[in-house]
Amino acid sequence: MATLTYLTTTHFDFGALEQLSRELKKAGVTKPLIATDAGLVGAGIVDTVTGALEDGTPFAVFDETPGNPTEEAVKTALDLYNSEGCDGVIALGGGSSMDLGKAVALLAGSGGPLAQYDPLLGGAKNIKSVAPVIAVPTTSGTGSEVSVGFVIILEDGRKMTFASPLFIPRAAICDPELTMGLPAGMTAATGMDAITHCIEAFLTPQVNPPAEGVALDGLWRGWQYLPRAVKDGSDRDARWHMMMCSTEGAMAFIKGLGAVHAMSHAAGRIRRLNPHHGTLNAVFLPEVLRFNEGACEAKYVRLRQAMGLEPGADLAKAVEAMNAAIGIPSGLAEMGLEESDIAELVEYAQKDLSARSNPRPVTAEDFEAMVRASM
């Protein structure tokens, strides 16, 4: 079993769940709130995790996390946290549950509303403390278990990215066993989320060579093993490498992300669609790769190497081929996006934190062109 200390301590391997109680003790958590969703309760994953706790450990379960977590859900979970006398969070699930768990921990330590922590307005100065979080991912996509951020749809409709080193979980328990039952469609969507993290983090202009090395390693794993994981969900080797790709993607995006995530966050706030974030990333990624190419030619050479492509290969076409092979929708229209959604999507994409770290400046006209090309 590998124990990695990079941003936080990560216990990584089949059987890593046995480290959960030890990490709760280290964090001083005596009664955790388990932030999760109903699907994981029904699949027996919550029982598996609570079974790994020491006998007699009290806990509470919040299982109403939406697919795109909202401030309303965070407040409901916080009420349960407080009424049950919890003193920490086990964030169990995919990115939605982990993001919600982080938001609960922030409000438990520093109070609401969430909008006061907007990083674009210097909101980090308002953070007093954050309750301890132990993250246990059950998908291989978001990497929120090791990241500085979380994303929540606020009550005013904005889908906001919050970022601070204080939001990094005290420990991550990455046990690929928990991903073995993930359906092929969700494996594909979350896997492309992880691959997008690796690519966008690598391309951001911030200087951080160690993070770039981590991104390229994650990309190498994801590009090789995602088709295997989608084809055969019981492929333990593929599940291990995809979880590592996911974790490395989030380790890398300490550098930032880019236009893909700006548009995905903007589209993700359209509640009638409730689109999956990873699927949006997969659909937007080809057009952003075309847009950025002139600003990133040297880095595109290294991306091709990590992906095992021929020199000069068209990265956008390679991603489109991967999407088609693993069953990702062919475009935004197939996901339900309509012409009437475009103007608002562009407006919110421009305001998104990720837009600031794209390697090439993006205007409203650029965003609109990429959205239309992705339809």
Residues 152 and 10 in one domain: yes
> In terms of domains, do 94 and 186 share one?
no
- Do 324 and 368 fall into the same domain? yes
Residue that terminates a domain, selected from 157, 178, 199: 178
pLDDT score of 50 more than 60: yes
Amino acid 148: pLDDT: 87
Alpha-carbon torsion (173, 115, 127, 160), positive or negative: positive
Number of domains in the chain: 2
251/169 same-domain check: no
Domain termination site, one of 178, 201, 236: 178
Average pLDDT, the chain: 94
Is the pLDDT score of 2 beyond 90? no
Residues 162 and 97 in one domain: yes
Domain boundary among 134, 154, 178: 178
CATH code, domain carrying 103: 3.40.50.1970
Q: Where are the alpha helices (DSSP H) in 204-341?
A: 209-231, 236-252, 259-268, 277-292, 297-307, 315-326
Q: Both 42 and 129 in a single domain?
A: yes
Mean pLDDT of the region 202-206: 95
The domain of 79 spans: 2-178
Strands 171-174, 32-35: pairing kind:
unpaired
pLDDT digits (tens, 9 = 90+) for 293-328: 999 999 999 999 999 999 999 999 999 999 999 999
Residues 79 and 90 placed together within one structural domain of the fold: yes
Mean pLDDT of 156-167: 87
Specify the pLDDT at position 156.
Answer: 87
CATH number of the CATH domain containing 242: 1.20.1090.10
Report helix angle 259-268 to 184-203, nearest 10.
140
Supply the pLDDT for residue 3: 59
Predicted structure pTM score: 0.92
Average of per-residue pLDDT across 281-299: 96
pLDDT in tens, 326-337: 999 999 999 999
On whether both 204 and 317 belong to a single domain, the answer is yes
What angle, rounded to 10 degrees, do the helices at 259-268 and 364-373 form?
Answer: 70
- 267 shares a domain with 245: yes
Q: Contact 107/78 with Cβ under 8 angstroms?
A: yes
Statement to judge: residues 168 and 215 lie in one domain: no
CA distance 199 to 285: 9
49, 143: one domain: yes
- Answer yes or no: do 186 and 294 share one domain: yes
